[in-house]
Amino acid sequence: MEIIIQPTPEAASIIAARHVARLVRDKPNAVLGLATGSTPLVMYRELVRMHKEQGLDFSQVTTFNLDEYVGLPTEHPASYHAFMWDNFFSHINVQRERVHIPDGLASHIPAFCRKYEEAIGAAGGIDLQVLGIGGDGHIGFNEPSSSLASRTRIKTLTAETRRDNAQAFGSPDKVPFHVITMGVGTIMDARQVIILAFGSKKAEAIAAAVEGPITAMVPASILQMHPVAQCIIDEAAATKLKRIEYYRWVYDRKPDWQKV
């Protein structure tokens, strides 16, 4: 795993956006795996800027989102459908039929999850998956103890995750208990993974994911086994890393052809 430490969340997000943009330019029909929440917002804003000012073309891109709450209609303001269209899709030239987000109102959730996996495969697999990380080390909504080989499925949220996501709902009591999420195995199938983390509250999780043992109790730790994974973080999220100076050394001395 490549560790990229930047002074601020904004600087880190711009690097992440450049990785996405490079892929889209090199492969116009790229398949992107996308995340929601506050962490990728600046990255999405930078990609929107690149689209409007530099002509970054998303017209052939296909997207698959990580997750969605069970029971929320797409128009609910706290749904991830609403989040993605409000913050990204409506500002670029992505084709609506190429956008895939789990259906929280699916009448038969196991069948829907199988079809979601099939759709990813039919699209050729995910080229680049964007991730955040929970304070307990979860990725997507794969809570601690999730199978490291899991596929898209329904999951029950922990009390901690429901508290963390309460702002969009007004109170923790209004946060749904269940979600549809890509599995850890689904995420690991992506050809490239970028995980973003900002702030001191994510420092313990990042240290465990990057330098700790690979364990289902820290689902993000499986990314140590991914062949092309970048962990792009700010200074605050890096404070618990033991080899922080080594990571800086490596990044500062990358050859030009590796830089974005």
CATH number of the domain to which 109 belongs: 3.40.50.1360
Total tally of structural domains belonging to the chain? 1
Got the DSSP string for 80-129?
Answer: HHHHHHHHTGGGS---GGGEE---TT-SSHHHHHHHHHHHHHHTT--SEE
Taking residues 167-173, report their average pLDDT.
Answer: 91
Residue 152 lies in a domain: yes
Q: Are 169 and 83 in contact (CB under 8 A)?
A: no
Give the per-residue pLDDT at 24.
98
Give the per-residue pLDDT at 142.
97
Give the per-residue pLDDT at 260.
80
Q: Are 6 and 15 in contact (CB under 8 A)?
A: yes
Q: Which domain holds residue 40?
A: 2-251
Residue 101 lies in a domain: yes
Instruction: Give the span between the Cα atoms of 178 and 99, in whole angstroms.
Output: 22
| Residues with catalytic roles | 67, 136, 138, 143
Give the per-residue pLDDT at 130.
98
Residue 256 lies in a domain: no
Taking only the tens place, the pLDDT of each residue in 199-247 is 999 999 999 999 999 999 999 999 999 999 999 999 999 999 999 999 9
Residue 43 has pLDDT above 90, yes or no: yes
Give the per-residue pLDDT at 127.
98
Residue 258 has pLDDT above 90, yes or no: no
Contacts of 104 (CB under 8 A, 6+ apart): 68, 69, 70, 71, 72, 73, 74, 79, 176, 179, 180
Share of the chain above pLDDT 90, in %: 95
Instruction: Give the span between the Cα atoms of 220 and 143, in whole angstroms.
Output: 10
Instruction: Give the span between the Cα atoms of 122 and 126, in whole angstroms.
Output: 10
Residue 259 lies in a domain: no
Mean of pLDDT over the chain: 97
User: Per the structure block, which two tokens stand in for 231?
Assistant: 């962990």
Instruction: Give the span between the Cα atoms of 220 and 210, in whole angstroms.
Output: 8
Residue 258 lies in a domain: no
Give the per-residue pLDDT at 257.
83
Give the per-residue pLDDT at 259.
77
Share of the chain above pLDDT 70, in %: 100
Residue 19 lies in a domain: yes
Residue 260 lies in a domain: no
Residue 194 lies in a domain: yes
